[in-house]
Amino acid sequence: MIVRSIVGKLWVTVVAFTVVVLIVFSSLLSQFVSGFLLNKELDDLVILARSAAQVLLSAADREQSRTLTELRSVIEETKDRRLYLVFGPDAAELPQGLRPIAASAEFRPVWSGGSVKLRTTYEEGGKRIPVLVVASGAAVPAGKGAVLILEPEASFRPIVEGIDRLILGTIVLSALGVTAWALFLTRRITQPLTDISLAAKRIAEGEYDTHLAYDFQDEIGLLARSFNQMASRLRESINALREKGEELEGVLESMEEGVFLTDTEGTFLHANSAARRLVPSLEEFFSLIRPQWEEAIREGKTVRLAELEFLGRSYHVTLTPLYREEGGVRGVSVVFRDITLEVRLETLRRDFFANVSHELKTPVALMQGYTEALLDGLARNEEEERELIQIIHEETLRMGRLVQDLLDFSRLEAGRLKLYRRPTMPEELVTRLKRRFDPILRERGIRFRTAVETKGSYCLDPDRFEQILTNLVDNALRYTPYGGEIAVRAWEDEEVLWFEVSDTGVGIEPEDLPYVFERFYKGDKSRRRGEGGSGLGLAIVKRLVEAHGGTIWVESTLGKGTTFRMRFPLGELRSCDEEDV
């Protein structure tokens, strides 16, 4: 509503003040005019009464009586006036209603030759009538006399009312004019304030380029210039904050660690993409660290979780309280990172040293024992001495294989192993493989079957691919009993090159199958150290297969045997360039 606005309040105030002033002024003016007219009329009547008294009250003859009659008729024709001649205070010549006036104390100066003028009332016909009464005394031959002129106030009331209407009309027109002028003036004065209010609202809604085009040399102009300066500084501050926010957002989004912020009620305020990528559900993750979050708020200090298990993964979590400028905790910043790989690597590192120590302990102990026996001359003959030397030689070879496997595996892990691809025929690889293992196969009574159904050559690293097949056949030899069978197959099918190495050995426990390609993994049956393996052969095989762009998996049935199957997309075997693994 307009009355509630500054314009309305100022307009109403000006109009109300003006109307009150005009009403008071008109009332005073009306009273003044009425009083003036009454006094003027009384003064005129006094003059008239004095003249009449001088002329009429001295009448001594008929002619003067005739003059009196004529003068009375003239006076009484005007404004309902009445003229009376009064001889003595008893005023017997006056009507009954006027006699108290002649007998009043105000009338006494008349009998001394003076004049009086009165505003009074008299009773006529049962009514009190307001009248103007003037009287003037004079000496007459018969004694004291007076001329009394009576004029009802109603006779000149139309003149007063006409003047009142004129004054009222003037006041109404003045009030309307002042109202319009006040509305125009207040709007002109308050329009800049309205514009400033709208500009402030636009700034609150984010329109920081808002500008006021007022250049008045007054308080409004000063306010507009101050507002423009404030808006300019606010725009600069907002832009600076936005840039800082974008920089912070960029830093948070570029972090590998997950970061999310909460208030003291546990409501999420912000979370970077890493936070939602590292854990499936932030809400469940937050509920897990809720006790530490409450501790950070309660104690006002940073809380760290070195290793937190969540849905099968490990996380390092840091909870830092956020403070208000005036003091007090306003929220918590939670930073966490996935350390599952680090934990596994640490476990593998410990297992690595434990297994290497175990693998080296046996051959070193044997070599030390047999060397001491030779030094002490415990060999009874040359044949025993040669046997001891042969054992030392075999253990040396075993240590050499272990060291070579460790070197190969470390190169693969560090990405420093190169593949030298060149056109290679699977038939040649299988033929060399059979030639290498033929003596030991015959010695152990194990059949060796091969089947190669490929088309031409493929871009492989022949040495590393032969190492793959060698490790798989060597693994099969260790777990295939006398009279068993080992088979190597290769074939091409729908843009895929397949290799398969199978045996009829003891098989692998189902719970051990997912871990057979891990280094130094110890299964109850499938990873027996007594057979002389390094525990790295299958881990090396898996990485070399992947380096060639392929995949490998194992299928096994206890008591029936094991099959290792490899799949190589032909698209990965068409480029024969040297490449790093």
More confident residue, 134 or 551: 551
Across all residues in the chain, what is the average pLDDT?
80
Instruction: Kindly tell me if the per-residue pLDDT of 268 is higher than 80.
Output: yes
Is 325 part of a structural domain of the chain?
A: no
CB contact at 8 A, 93 and 102: no
pTM: 0.43
pLDDT of residue 60 exceeding 50? no
pLDDT number for residue 139: 60
β-partners of residue 556 are 562
Non-local CB neighbours of 337 within 8 Å, separated by 6+ positions: 256, 257, 258, 278, 315, 316
* Residue partners of 458: CB distance under 8 A and separation at least 6: 423, 424, 425, 426, 497, 568, 570, 573
Per-residue tokens: 413: 């892990």
Residue 232 shares a structural domain with residue 148: no
Instruction: In whole angstroms, give the CA distance from residue 178 to residue 561.
Output: 114
User: 456 lies in a domain?
Assistant: yes
Q: Which domain holds residue 427?
A: 417-572
* 147 shares a domain with 214: no
Which pLDDT score, from 0 to 100, does residue 577 have?
64
Which pLDDT belongs to residue 63?
47
Query: What are the percentages of helix, strand and coil residues in the chain, rounded to 5?
Result: 55, 20, 25
Q: Are 150 and 229 in a shared domain? A: no
Digit-coded pLDDT (tens) for 14-49? 778 888 888 888 888 877 877 787 787 778 778 877
Give me the CATH number covering residue 532: 3.30.565.10
Whether residue 116 is found in the same domain as residue 224: no
Is 406 domain-assigned? no
Whole-Å CA distances, 460 to 297, 421, 425, 428, 457: 61, 5, 9, 12, 9
Domain annotation covers residue 536: yes
Winning range, highest mean pLDDT, from 218-232, 263-277, 352-366, 395-409: 263-277
Share of the chain above pLDDT 70, in %: 84
* Average pLDDT score over residue span 534-555: 88
| Residues 135, 35 within the same domain | yes
DSSP symbol at 581: -
DSSP letters for 283-298: HHHHHHTHHHHHHHHH
Q: How far is CA 364 from the centre of its chain?
A: 69
Contacts 24+ apart (CB under 8 A), 405-410: 405/534, 405/536, 405/537, 405/540, 406/356, 406/534, 406/536, 408/467, 408/536, 408/540, 409/519, 409/536, 409/539, 409/540, 409/543
Structure tokens at 438: 């033929």
98-130 confidence digits (pLDDT tens): 788 877 888 888 877 788 888 888 777 778 888
Task: Give the residue from 527, 524, 546, 543 showing the smallest Cα distance to 535.
Answer: 527
With respect to residue 18, please indicate whether it lies within any of the assigned structural domains: no
pLDDT > 60? residue 512: yes
Q: Is there a single domain that holds both residue 38 and residue 145? A: yes
Residues 226 and 97 in one domain: no
| Helices (H) then strands (E): counts for the chain | 13, 18
The total of structural domains in the chain comes to 3
Strands 551-557 and 496-503: unpaired
Same domain, 245 and 107: no
Asked if the structure places residue 221 within a domain, the reply is: yes
Assigned token pair, 353 = 């040293």
Whether 303 is in a domain gets the answer: no
Task: Indicate whether 443 and 568 sit together in one domain.
Answer: yes
Say if residue 138 is in the same domain as residue 231: no
Q: pLDDT band for 61, please (50, 70, 90 cuts).
A: very low
CATH of the domain at 89: 3.30.450.20
**Strands 447-453, 485-492: pairing kind:** parallel
Quick: pLDDT tens for 187-220. 777 777 777 777 778 777 777 677 776 666 677 7
- Tell me if 83 is assigned to some domain: yes
519, 441: one domain: yes
Backbone angles phi, psi at 480, to 5 degrees: -105, 125
On whether both 139 and 233 belong to a single domain, the answer is no
